[in-house]
Structures are given as C-alpha cells and as structure tokens.
Amino acid sequence: MGGTHEVGRNAVLLESGGTKILLDYGVKIGDKPEFPGHVRSKDLNGIVLSHAHLDHSGGIPLFYLSGATPYFATPLTTEIVGILIRDMIKLSGYYLPFEYIEFDAMMKNRVDVGYRKEVKVGNVEFSLLNAGHIQGSAMVDLKAGGKRVLYTGDINTSRTRLTQEAKVPRKNYDAVVVESTYANTDHEERKKIEASFVAAIKEVLNNDGKVLVPAFAVGRSQEMLCVINAHKLNVNVFIDGMARAVNQISMEHLDYIKTPKTFKTVINKTRAVQGWRDRRQATRRADVIVAPSGMLQGGTAMHYMERLSLDEKNAVFLVSFQVPGTGGAKLLESGYFRIKDVEQEVKAQVRHFDFSSHSGKTQLEAFLRGIKGKPDVYVVHGEPENCESLAQWARDELDVNAAAPKEGDEFKV
C-alpha cells in the first residue's frame, strides 16, 4: 500500500479468506504529508503496528474518522506513538486529515500485545517478535490459510545497548516482507563506532569544551545515554526535548529494554532539563547534552546550537542518519548553520558517527538466508535501487521468488 521503493508511509495489506489485516500505515512528512493507498476503515478487521516511528504509525488515526477497528501493538509502542502523533498534530503547519479526536478514538481501540503472544483476528493468527530496532519494536509473524508470512518492519540484528537484537524466527515461512533501508551499505562495527565516539567526547571535555549530541527522541537518545554510561565517562549528562518523555515511558516498560537495571540507573542519573530557566543553566553546567531533533530540524537542539556551536572548544556530534537538505546534513557539508535567521560559520568541532538502528547489507542478507522454508521475498522500505538489489540478491543467492513491489501490486502466497 505504500513504502514501496521509498522510505516513508509504510503499509502492507494482508487478506485471507475475507479477513483483512493492515500492517503499519505510516506518513511521509515533507512539504505536505503523504499517506499510503486508500483502504476503507470498515473493510479492515484489524491494524497491527510494528513500531512507533511515524513512517509506520503516522497514518493510523485516519481509520478512526469513523469506525472502530482494533489496533494492535506492544504497549510501549502505543505509549510512544502517543507522544509522536500528538506532537505531529501540534506542530503540523500543514493540513492533516485528522485531529486529536481521531487519535483518541485510535487509543480507545488499542489492544496491547506482548512479544510471542498469539492473537486471532478472523481467519488470521499473528504474534509479535522482537525486531531490535527501537524499544518496543516488533516483527509480525502471521498465519493464515495454512501459510506463514513474516513482516519484518524495521529490523536490527546487531547488538546495541538499548534493545535485544532481532533473531531469525525458527519457523518455516511461505513469504517474507523485508525492509531494505541499508540493503547496499554496511555499517561500521558497533564497537568501533562507540570507541571513537567516546574518545572524541573525552578529548572535547579535556579541553574544557561541551558536547551537543543531537539525537532522535526515540531510541537513539536513550541509546546514547547507555553508551556514555557503559564507557564510564564520569560526566554531567543533560537530556532535553521529547526524549525526556520517551525516557519516562521507557522506564515504565523495562521488559522491552535489554538491561533494565542499568537503564534505570542511567536514566536516574541523567539530568532532565525542566523548562527554560533550567535550559539556560544547562549550557553552563552540562558536559554532554543529548537533545532532539537528530537532524537539527527544530527541537531543543536548536537552542543549544545557538549557545554552543560558535565556540571552537565545543563539539556537535551527530549520531543519526542525516537526510539531505536537513540542518544536520547542510552543517556536515558546509560547516554553516542557520542561527537566528543568519547563516553562521560553526566554530565547534562537527562530526558524524554512524550509529544505526537498521541492519546493514550483510546482516539483512544473513537474516534472509537464515529463514527456513524457501519463502517468497518482497522487499520494501528502501530507496528504489536498494529494494531492487536485495530482491535480485535473493533470487540469485537464495534461489527464491523475490520482488521489489510497486504501490498497489498484489501477490498471492
């Protein structure tokens, strides 16, 4: 339904014996929001959400203009979705086809599903499996009409400090719908990225500087706090923006966190910035400030850019993928950043660290290779060349049917 040959507005519709289940229904945020293809709410028997990110969740309120389709996700996913969708409605300068009232209706139809719990909706049975991508993220394992289908959502099979890594499910599958965000790129080894990130922070602090870490509010912010803690950097860490609420919610769902005890300690010792007075002081008292947005497009990170980026002693360490055209991408390219409506030369050290919550090329291939039953492979959630090349790889190397579908394509398993 969407998210084919692109990243954003992900959606897959599965039908079996008259039962229709929608897997994700995201939004692509640009000048104006784009949604997947149209499905009528009354035709759906259920909506299953893989994880909280808006490219998977942001269109779901559309089904609650009228109608009351049950909506399934892990409880942590739904709590985080609450933060992200409310924020999207609040900030949307453009027309959104729904409002808070639709979001509230969606929440009234929520059904919390933990990992590995069997759920039956009409002719379809499914369960959610850890996807390793962000806290609460899931793959969807579906059984229908005697067939088994795996929908990966976004997956990460490498170890991070926040969530357990995704494992290849041991069942035999007839079809797999797989993401391909990094189907043509391998990430540097996690350990090495962490080591250089930590060494770089130490160097800045030794020279009396401060480090701003712009990070995505969900996942990356929490992970960066865990990384700093794991390397025993004895520093004052402040956290700001939407990441604060995500921290609190994650604390209430520790069963989705890899090391709950350590996570609790980390969050408790991180100073959450409370309001503007506190924010102004933070620039004096903090050693490291973690603040969204991860691509320097708004968020409290903008305040810290203004305060910290014009001093050469300080550093701005970007730890997320930077979409071309965003503040972060431009800063990396040009060394300039727009502060108070003026392009200014950033004196602080600017670096990018390739932390990722998606599997890289080798890992995606190993994941597909590990799935038993010679399933058909459908590749989505990637740039066109990534979708095509992973499908080609699956045909060549695994000798299976594989396709990189276009929006609206239908396949029979």
Binding residues (CB under 5 A) for Zn ion: these are 53, 55, 154
Nearest to 404 by CA among 187, 145, 170, 184: 184
Query: Which residue, 143 or 381, is less far from Zn ion as judged by CB?
Result: 381
DSSP 8-class letter at 93:
-
Nearer Cβ to Zn ion, position 164 or 344? 164
CB 138 → Zn ion: shortest distance, Å? 11
As measured in angstroms, the least distance from the Cβ of 214 to Zn ion is 18
Q: Where do we find the tokens 């600017």?
A: 350
Residue whose CB is less far from Zn ion, 6 or 154: 154
Nearer to Zn ion (CB atom), residue 182 or residue 304: 182
**In the complex, what is the shortest distance from the CB of residue 133 to Zn ion, in angstroms, rounded to a whole number?**
5
- The smaller minimum CB distance to Zn ion, of residues 215 and 331, is found at 215
Identify whether the C-beta of residue 243 lies closer than 8 Å to the C-beta of residue 217.
yes
Nearer to Zn ion, 16 or 135 (CB): 135
Residue showing the smallest CB distance to Zn ion in the complex? 53
User: Closest Cα partner for 132 from 369, 310, 357?
Assistant: 357
Nearer of residues 36 and 209 to Zn ion, judged by Cβ: 36
* Least CB distance to Zn ion at residue 179 (A): 7
**Smallest distance from Zn ion to CB 52, Å:** 8
For residue 407, count other CB atoms closer than 10 A to its CB: 15
Minimum separation from the CB atom of position 263 to Zn ion (A): 20
Token match 């897997």: residue?
23
CA angle 149, 155, 156 (to 5 degrees): 140
Q: Where are the beta strands (DSSP E) in 175-224?
A: 175-179, 211-214
| Least distance from Zn ion to the Cβ atom of residue 36, Å | 13
* Min CB(219)–Zn ion separation in Å: 8
Residue 59 has which token pair? Answer: 């269109």
Closer to Zn ion by Cβ: residue 155 or 315: 155
- Work out how close the CB of 162 gets to Zn ion at its nearest, in angstroms, rounded to a whole number: 13
Cα–Cα distance measured from residue 81 to residue 256, given in angstroms and rounded to the nearest whole number: 15
As a 3-state breakdown, the chain gives helix, strand, coil percent values, each rounded to 5, of: 35, 20, 45
Tally of CB atoms within 10 A around 19: 17
Report CA-CA distances (Å) from 45 to 15, 40, 77, 234.
Answer: 10, 11, 20, 52
280 contacts: CB under 8 Å, gap ≥ 6: none
**10/229 with CB nearer Zn ion:** 10
Q: Which is nearer to Zn ion, 181 or 270 (CB)?
A: 181
Task: Please report where in the chains the tokens 């499910």 appear, as a residue.
Answer: 169
Is the separation of the CB atoms in 237 and 204 below 8 Å? no
Smallest distance from the beta carbon of 134 to Zn ion, in angstroms?
A: 6
CA distances from 303 to 265, 295, 307, 347 (A): 27, 14, 6, 16
